[in-house]
Structure 1
Amino acid sequence: MLYISDNLKYLRNRRNFSQQEAANGLQIPCERYKKYEYGKNTPPAETLLLISRFYHISIDLLLTIDLRKLNVDNLLKLDDNRIVLPITVDADGNNFIEIVPHKARAGYLTGYADPEFIENLQQISLPFLGVGKFRAFPVGGDSMPPHNDLSFVIGKYVDNLGEIKKEKTYILITLSEGITYKRLSSKNAESLTVAPDNIIYNPYEIKLSDILEIWEYVAHIGRDDSKSDLISPDNLSGILSGMQKDIAAINRKIG
């Protein structure tokens, strides 16, 4: 469901604009504007961009979120007000770090712009990280040692592609892969080339059009799995059973 018509009316009323004043601000004919607000037409991409810049609300939120149900003033406005990112804050207005758990990994692609999804994530506070918007993401696989499947990487939101630098690591949210954590090898006007730190995997290219978000790696949260209860009764029984099977297989070959 698209909420653009309801959101246009809501945002206009928040500023106490008439329909004519809103149309003037967007530099479009009033009759065309009315069709958008009444839901008769959906604004094309170039008009959505004008609306986004005029009200300082991301296109994702304009289209997919009912803005009447959230406090727009509590959304994080990034540089030049080009986009609005859903965040959670404490009673003093300090940003929390939301943790995207493994079970919510797949849902992040559809929930990253949804304030309700973000609010339901677990939260931590790490004041030493300084100024910026931070989020923690799960790491999977063996492509980026020493991080493992028990690790989370904390990223700082990047809102300007000019800020990313070669040889730094980034959490990339892409349409094709979802959440991926890689090192930047090179970039051009149309794509990024990224590389895993594990040399058994090859670098590959990601189109900029495929990227939804970029977070610069700043810290990592991990757990030492070497201290897990390896000699619990259940584990010990399994280990001995496996050894007995291996010995029996060797004896059959010898015999």
Structure 2
Amino acid sequence: MSFLAENIRYLRTQLNKSQQTVASSLLITRGRYAKYEDGASEPPLEILVRISRFFHVSIDLLLSVDLRKVPLNEIIQLPDNRIVFPIKVNEHGNNCIEIIPHKAQMGYLSSYSDPEYIENLSTLSIPFLRNGKFRAFPTEGDSMPPHQNGSFIIAQYVENLNDLKCGRTYIWVTRNEGITYKRLKAVEENALLLCADNPIYAPYSIELQELIEVWEYSCSIATEEFEQGILSPDSAQLMFLMEELKNDVQQIKKKLL
């Protein structure tokens, strides 16, 4: 089912534009444009591209998402307007953080742009997480101690890849691997080098074109009690912590200069 007719009618009224104004911008007649809004006919690809550029909304969104359900004045837009993130708050003004449950991880990859899917997720609010869009993702495996299997990483959406910082941890949503939590080791020409904090796992690269979303670590929630000794660092972990401390000191020095 395409939402095109409803979406372009809704967007035009939101902009307070007449059908003639939009049609003139698209270089077509008003009657032809009216048929698109009525659903009597569908625009060819060339006109669809013009419509997308006029409203500054991607073709994917125009066709597959009911924009009437999205608060357009309270959204973060991803690159190329692929999807939109409504920023919802509770009665106390705190952000509503959507929780991606373990059983819904695979569904997230196919439904992350569906407002109805996001609206049906459970939410939580943390008072000190206010500015930005946050989401809670489950972790699996032992690659990122001390976060145990079953913990949740609450992370903030990264709007611009230029804001990524080597040494920081992120939730990476990719077409091939799905959802993974790893540390950014290096930025390559057309890829990113990621590494686990557990030294038994080797670093690996992901191509930029495979990225769907990136979320920067903000805090975590442990759902199970830590086992005794789990936080006892071995030599490899100590070396990693020392390197991280050195990087932090260098960043502080740069800010003071």
Shorter-chain-normalised TM-score: which range? 0.7 to 0.9
The amino acid across from 1:185 in the alignment is K
- State the identity as a percent: 47
CA distance 1:45–1:122, shift in 2 (3 Å): farther
> What are the superposed Cα offsets for residues 202-226 of structure 1, whole Å, 9 maximum, x if unpaired?
2222122211111001111003345
SS at match of 1:107: helix
Taking the aligned partners of 2:176 and 2:52, their CA distance within structure 1 comes to 28
Taking the aligned partners of 2:58 and 2:42, their CA distance within structure 1 comes to 22
Q: Is the 8 A contact 1:88 1:95 kept in 2?
A: yes
Within a 5 Å distance, the mapping from 1:136-155 to structure 2 comes to 136-155=136-155
Larger radius of gyration: 1
CA distance 1:45–1:85, shift in 2 (3 Å): farther
Q: Is the 8 A contact 2:172 2:215 kept in 1?
A: yes
Partner of 2:254: none
Partner of 2:75: 76
The amino acid across from 1:170 in the alignment is Y
User: TM-score under structure 2 normalisation?
Assistant: 0.74
1:174 equivalenced with 2:174 (yes/no): yes
Partner of 1:217: 217
Q: Is the 8 A contact 1:3 1:65 kept in 2?
A: yes
Taking the aligned partners of 1:76 and 1:137, their CA distance within structure 2 comes to 20
Deviation of the 1:119 alpha carbon: 1.5
Deviation of the 1:155 alpha carbon: 0.5
CA RMSD, Structure 1 to Structure 2 (Å): 3.1
- 85-94 vs 176-185, which deviates more? 85-94
> What are the superposed Cα offsets for residues 76-134 of structure 1, whole Å, 9 maximum, x if unpaired?
23599966313433246542111111011111112212221112111111121241111
Taking the aligned partners of 1:79 and 1:147, their CA distance within structure 2 comes to 28
Deviation of the 1:59 alpha carbon: 5.0
The amino acid across from 1:166 in the alignment is C
Partner of 1:4: 4
> Which structure 2 segments of 5+ residues have no match?
228-257
User: TM-score under structure 1 normalisation?
Assistant: 0.74
> What are the superposed Cα offsets for residues 189-241 of structure 1, whole Å, 9 maximum, x if unpaired?
522121111222222221222111110011110033457xxxxxxxxxxxxxx
Taking the aligned partners of 1:92 and 1:60, their CA distance within structure 2 comes to 34
The amino acid across from 1:72 in the alignment is P
Taking the aligned partners of 2:122 and 2:211, their CA distance within structure 1 comes to 25
CA distance 1:44–1:136, shift in 2 (3 Å): farther
The amino acid across from 2:180 in the alignment is T
SS at match of 2:182: strand
CA distance 1:206–1:57, shift in 2 (3 Å): same
Q: Is the 8 A contact 1:86 1:118 kept in 2?
A: no
Partner of 2:42: 40
The amino acid across from 2:218 in the alignment is V
Partner of 2:248: none
SS at match of 1:113: coil
Picking from 27, 30, 33, the partner of 2:28 is 30
CA distance 1:226–1:166, shift in 2 (3 Å): closer
Q: Would you say how many aligned residue pairs link Structure 1 and Structure 2? A: 222
Q: Is the 8 A contact 1:133 1:157 kept in 2?
A: yes
Deviation of the 1:166 alpha carbon: 0.9
Q: Is the 8 A contact 1:75 1:84 kept in 2?
A: no
Deviation of the 1:41 alpha carbon: 3.0
CA distance 1:5–1:210, shift in 2 (3 Å): farther
Taking the aligned partners of 1:187 and 1:127, their CA distance within structure 2 comes to 33
The amino acid across from 1:142 in the alignment is D
Taking the aligned partners of 2:47 and 2:224, their CA distance within structure 1 comes to 48
